[in-house]
Structure 1
Protein backbone atom coordinates (compact mmCIF):
# COMPACT_ATOMS: atom_id res chain seq x y z
CA UNK A 1 0.00 0.00 0.00
CA UNK A 2 1.22 3.48 -0.89
CA UNK A 3 0.27 6.51 1.17
CA UNK A 4 0.17 9.67 -0.92
CA UNK A 5 1.04 13.22 0.16
CA UNK A 6 -0.98 16.34 -0.56
CA UNK A 7 1.63 17.78 -2.94
CA UNK A 8 1.26 14.87 -5.36
CA UNK A 9 -2.54 14.91 -5.32
CA UNK A 10 -2.65 18.65 -5.93
CA UNK A 11 -0.15 18.27 -8.78
CA UNK A 12 -2.56 15.85 -10.42
CA UNK A 13 -5.84 17.59 -9.61
CA UNK A 14 -4.62 21.06 -10.63
CA UNK A 15 -2.73 19.75 -13.69
CA UNK A 16 0.39 21.54 -12.46
CA UNK A 17 2.56 22.31 -15.49
CA UNK A 18 5.84 21.54 -13.74
CA UNK A 19 5.03 18.60 -11.48
CA UNK A 20 1.69 17.29 -12.78
CA UNK A 21 2.90 14.83 -15.42
CA UNK A 22 5.54 13.23 -13.19
CA UNK A 23 3.18 13.03 -10.22
CA UNK A 24 0.42 11.50 -12.37
CA UNK A 25 2.81 8.92 -13.87
CA UNK A 26 4.30 7.95 -10.51
CA UNK A 27 0.87 7.72 -8.92
CA UNK A 28 -0.20 5.45 -11.78
CA UNK A 29 2.84 3.24 -11.22
CA UNK A 30 1.95 2.96 -7.52
CA UNK A 31 -1.63 2.01 -8.38
CA UNK A 32 -0.34 -0.65 -10.79
CA UNK A 33 1.40 -2.49 -7.94
CA UNK A 34 -1.09 -1.97 -5.11
CA UNK A 35 -3.53 0.29 -3.36
CA UNK A 36 -3.13 4.02 -2.78
CA UNK A 37 -4.43 5.45 0.47
CA UNK A 38 -5.02 9.00 1.66
CA UNK A 39 -4.71 9.74 5.39
CA UNK A 40 -7.04 12.09 7.23
CA UNK A 41 -4.66 15.06 7.06
CA UNK A 42 -3.96 14.72 3.33
CA UNK A 43 -7.67 14.23 2.66
CA UNK A 44 -8.51 17.45 4.53
CA UNK A 45 -5.74 19.46 2.86
CA UNK A 46 -6.70 18.22 -0.61
CA UNK A 47 -10.47 18.47 -0.23
CA UNK A 48 -10.08 22.16 0.64
CA UNK A 49 -9.30 22.75 -3.05
CA UNK A 50 -12.70 21.41 -4.15
CA UNK A 51 -15.97 23.37 -4.02
CA UNK A 52 -17.69 20.70 -1.93
CA UNK A 53 -16.79 17.45 -0.14
CA UNK A 54 -18.69 15.25 -2.60
CA UNK A 55 -16.61 16.49 -5.53
CA UNK A 56 -13.39 15.81 -3.62
CA UNK A 57 -14.54 12.29 -2.81
CA UNK A 58 -15.54 11.67 -6.42
CA UNK A 59 -12.17 12.90 -7.67
CA UNK A 60 -10.28 10.70 -5.19
CA UNK A 61 -12.39 7.68 -6.16
CA UNK A 62 -11.84 8.32 -9.88
CA UNK A 63 -8.13 8.53 -9.20
CA UNK A 64 -8.19 5.19 -7.36
CA UNK A 65 -7.23 6.65 -3.98
CA UNK A 66 -9.14 5.64 -0.86
CA UNK A 67 -9.48 7.20 2.58
CA UNK A 68 -7.41 5.61 5.36
CA UNK A 69 -7.76 7.34 8.74
CA UNK A 70 -4.89 7.75 11.16
CA UNK A 71 -4.80 5.28 14.00
CA UNK A 72 -3.70 5.96 17.57
CA UNK A 73 -0.18 4.55 17.11
CA UNK A 74 0.41 6.85 14.15
CA UNK A 75 -0.84 9.87 16.09
CA UNK A 76 1.48 9.01 18.98
CA UNK A 77 4.48 8.53 16.67
CA UNK A 78 3.76 11.88 15.01
CA UNK A 79 3.67 13.62 18.36
CA UNK A 80 6.98 12.11 19.44
CA UNK A 81 8.68 12.96 16.12
CA UNK A 82 7.37 16.53 16.20
CA UNK A 83 8.57 16.97 19.79
CA UNK A 84 12.03 15.75 18.77
CA UNK A 85 12.02 18.13 15.79
CA UNK A 86 11.12 21.13 17.96
CA UNK A 87 13.66 20.17 20.66
CA UNK A 88 16.36 20.20 17.99
CA UNK A 89 15.38 23.75 17.11
CA UNK A 90 13.17 22.90 14.15
CA UNK A 91 11.25 25.88 12.84
CA UNK A 92 7.48 26.02 12.61
CA UNK A 93 7.89 25.50 8.83
CA UNK A 94 6.92 21.88 9.36
CA UNK A 95 3.73 21.73 11.36
CA UNK A 96 2.29 18.73 13.13
CA UNK A 97 0.34 17.83 9.96
CA UNK A 98 3.59 16.90 8.19
CA UNK A 99 4.47 14.58 11.05
CA UNK A 100 1.01 12.99 11.01
CA UNK A 101 1.42 12.25 7.30
CA UNK A 102 4.86 10.71 7.84
CA UNK A 103 3.75 8.63 10.82
CA UNK A 104 0.70 7.34 8.94
CA UNK A 105 2.88 6.24 6.05
CA UNK A 106 5.45 4.68 8.40
CA UNK A 107 2.98 2.57 10.35
CA UNK A 108 -0.05 2.13 8.10
CA UNK A 109 1.48 1.87 4.62
CA UNK A 110 4.50 0.41 2.87
CA UNK A 111 5.75 3.69 1.45
CA UNK A 112 4.97 7.37 0.90
CA UNK A 113 4.59 9.09 -2.47
CA UNK A 114 5.68 12.72 -1.96
CA UNK A 115 7.77 15.54 -3.39
CA UNK A 116 9.11 16.40 0.09
CA UNK A 117 11.49 13.46 0.46
CA UNK A 118 14.22 15.09 2.57
CA UNK A 119 11.95 15.97 5.46
CA UNK A 120 10.31 12.57 5.66
CA UNK A 121 13.61 10.70 5.36
CA UNK A 122 15.07 12.76 8.20
CA UNK A 123 12.28 12.17 10.70
CA UNK A 124 11.02 8.76 9.58
CA UNK A 125 14.27 6.99 8.62
CA UNK A 126 12.68 3.57 8.05
CA UNK A 127 10.08 4.99 5.67
CA UNK A 128 10.39 4.16 1.98
CA UNK A 129 9.85 7.40 0.08
CA UNK A 130 8.84 7.46 -3.58
CA UNK A 131 9.39 10.74 -5.39
CA UNK A 132 8.01 11.69 -8.81
CA UNK A 133 10.90 12.18 -11.23
CA UNK A 134 10.53 15.58 -12.86
CA UNK A 135 12.28 16.26 -16.11
Structure 2
Protein backbone atom coordinates (compact mmCIF):
# COMPACT_ATOMS: atom_id res chain seq x y z
CA UNK A 1 0.00 0.00 0.00
CA UNK A 2 1.16 3.49 -0.83
CA UNK A 3 0.01 6.53 1.15
CA UNK A 4 -0.69 9.40 -1.27
CA UNK A 5 -0.15 12.97 -0.10
CA UNK A 6 -2.72 15.64 -0.93
CA UNK A 7 -0.36 17.60 -3.17
CA UNK A 8 -0.13 14.67 -5.60
CA UNK A 9 -3.91 14.20 -5.73
CA UNK A 10 -4.50 17.92 -6.18
CA UNK A 11 -2.01 17.96 -9.08
CA UNK A 12 -4.09 15.32 -10.82
CA UNK A 13 -7.58 16.67 -10.12
CA UNK A 14 -6.65 20.27 -10.99
CA UNK A 15 -4.50 19.21 -13.97
CA UNK A 16 -1.70 21.33 -12.55
CA UNK A 17 0.50 22.56 -15.36
CA UNK A 18 3.81 21.79 -13.65
CA UNK A 19 3.19 18.50 -11.84
CA UNK A 20 0.06 16.79 -13.23
CA UNK A 21 1.92 14.44 -15.57
CA UNK A 22 4.46 13.42 -12.95
CA UNK A 23 1.78 12.91 -10.30
CA UNK A 24 -0.49 10.90 -12.61
CA UNK A 25 2.41 8.71 -13.69
CA UNK A 26 3.48 8.07 -10.11
CA UNK A 27 -0.10 7.23 -9.07
CA UNK A 28 -0.30 4.70 -11.90
CA UNK A 29 3.08 3.21 -11.01
CA UNK A 30 2.22 2.94 -7.31
CA UNK A 31 -1.18 1.40 -8.13
CA UNK A 32 0.54 -1.28 -10.22
CA UNK A 33 2.43 -2.36 -7.07
CA UNK A 34 -0.48 -2.30 -4.61
CA UNK A 35 -3.44 -0.36 -3.23
CA UNK A 36 -3.41 3.43 -2.91
CA UNK A 37 -4.60 4.93 0.37
CA UNK A 38 -5.15 8.28 2.04
CA UNK A 39 -6.12 9.09 5.61
CA UNK A 40 -8.71 11.44 7.09
CA UNK A 41 -6.26 14.35 7.19
CA UNK A 42 -5.46 14.03 3.49
CA UNK A 43 -9.17 13.68 2.79
CA UNK A 44 -9.79 16.99 4.57
CA UNK A 45 -7.00 18.69 2.65
CA UNK A 46 -8.28 17.61 -0.77
CA UNK A 47 -11.90 18.34 0.14
CA UNK A 48 -11.14 22.06 -0.13
CA UNK A 49 -11.38 21.69 -3.93
CA UNK A 50 -14.90 20.25 -3.89
CA UNK A 51 -18.35 21.55 -3.03
CA UNK A 52 -19.81 18.21 -1.88
CA UNK A 53 -18.53 15.15 -0.06
CA UNK A 54 -20.03 12.98 -2.81
CA UNK A 55 -17.71 14.65 -5.33
CA UNK A 56 -14.64 13.87 -3.22
CA UNK A 57 -15.78 10.27 -2.80
CA UNK A 58 -16.42 9.93 -6.55
CA UNK A 59 -12.92 11.19 -7.36
CA UNK A 60 -11.39 8.74 -4.90
CA UNK A 61 -13.43 5.86 -6.37
CA UNK A 62 -12.36 6.87 -9.86
CA UNK A 63 -8.69 6.81 -8.82
CA UNK A 64 -9.24 3.62 -6.77
CA UNK A 65 -8.00 5.22 -3.56
CA UNK A 66 -9.22 4.04 -0.16
CA UNK A 67 -9.50 6.14 3.00
CA UNK A 68 -7.99 4.51 6.10
CA UNK A 69 -7.83 5.50 9.75
CA UNK A 70 -4.64 6.83 11.28
CA UNK A 71 -3.54 4.46 14.06
CA UNK A 72 -3.31 5.94 17.55
CA UNK A 73 0.39 5.12 17.71
CA UNK A 74 0.87 7.33 14.65
CA UNK A 75 -1.18 10.13 16.22
CA UNK A 76 1.06 9.95 19.28
CA UNK A 77 4.22 9.97 17.13
CA UNK A 78 2.88 12.95 15.15
CA UNK A 79 2.43 14.92 18.36
CA UNK A 80 5.94 14.14 19.56
CA UNK A 81 7.50 15.01 16.18
CA UNK A 82 5.52 18.25 16.06
CA UNK A 83 6.79 19.20 19.53
CA UNK A 84 10.36 18.64 18.32
CA UNK A 85 9.66 20.81 15.28
CA UNK A 86 8.13 23.61 17.38
CA UNK A 87 10.98 23.51 19.93
CA UNK A 88 13.42 24.67 17.25
CA UNK A 89 11.88 28.16 17.34
CA UNK A 90 8.98 29.95 15.68
CA UNK A 91 7.57 27.75 12.94
CA UNK A 92 4.82 28.07 10.39
CA UNK A 93 4.33 24.39 9.47
CA UNK A 94 1.00 22.78 10.15
CA UNK A 95 0.30 19.67 12.18
CA UNK A 96 -1.29 17.84 9.22
CA UNK A 97 2.11 17.03 7.69
CA UNK A 98 3.10 15.35 10.94
CA UNK A 99 -0.05 13.21 10.95
CA UNK A 100 0.74 12.07 7.42
CA UNK A 101 4.42 11.39 8.05
CA UNK A 102 3.76 9.53 11.29
CA UNK A 103 1.07 7.42 9.62
CA UNK A 104 3.52 6.35 6.91
CA UNK A 105 6.24 5.70 9.51
CA UNK A 106 4.15 3.61 11.92
CA UNK A 107 2.63 1.46 9.19
CA UNK A 108 5.88 1.36 7.20
CA UNK A 109 4.14 2.56 4.04
CA UNK A 110 5.79 4.40 1.17
CA UNK A 111 4.60 8.00 0.89
CA UNK A 112 4.00 9.53 -2.53
CA UNK A 113 4.58 13.27 -2.15
CA UNK A 114 6.18 16.30 -3.74
CA UNK A 115 7.05 17.87 -0.37
CA UNK A 116 9.74 15.68 1.14
CA UNK A 117 11.80 18.06 3.30
CA UNK A 118 9.82 17.83 6.55
CA UNK A 119 9.13 14.12 6.10
CA UNK A 120 12.84 13.41 5.65
CA UNK A 121 13.73 15.41 8.74
CA UNK A 122 11.11 14.12 11.18
CA UNK A 123 10.34 10.68 9.74
CA UNK A 124 13.64 9.46 8.25
CA UNK A 125 12.54 5.82 8.08
CA UNK A 126 9.71 6.58 5.63
CA UNK A 127 10.29 5.54 2.04
CA UNK A 128 9.50 8.65 0.00
CA UNK A 129 8.43 8.67 -3.61
CA UNK A 130 9.29 12.19 -4.75
CA UNK A 131 10.32 13.91 -7.98
CA UNK A 132 14.00 13.68 -7.03
CA UNK A 133 13.81 9.93 -6.30
CA UNK A 134 11.78 9.11 -9.42
CA UNK A 135 13.84 11.14 -11.85
CA UNK A 136 11.09 13.78 -12.22
Normalising by structure 1, we get a TM-score of 0.94
Q: Tell me the CA shift for residue 90 of structure 1.
A: 5.3
Extract unaligned runs of 5+ from structure 2: none
Aligned to 2:126: 127
- 1:70 is matched with 70
CA distance in 2, matches of 1:90, 1:130: 29
Runs of 4 or more consecutive aligned structure 1 residues displaced over 6 Å after TM superposition: none
Q: Aligned residue pairs: how many?
A: 134
- TM-score, normalised to structure 2, is 0.93
Query: Distance between the aligned counterparts of 1:88 and 1:56, measured in 2?
Result: 36
Mapping 1:23-62, distance limit 5 Å: 23-62=23-62
Q: Whose RCO is larger (CA < 8 A, sep 6+)?
A: 1
Tell me the C-alpha RMSD between the 2 structures.
Answer: 1.3
Runs of 5+ unmatched residues, structure 1: none
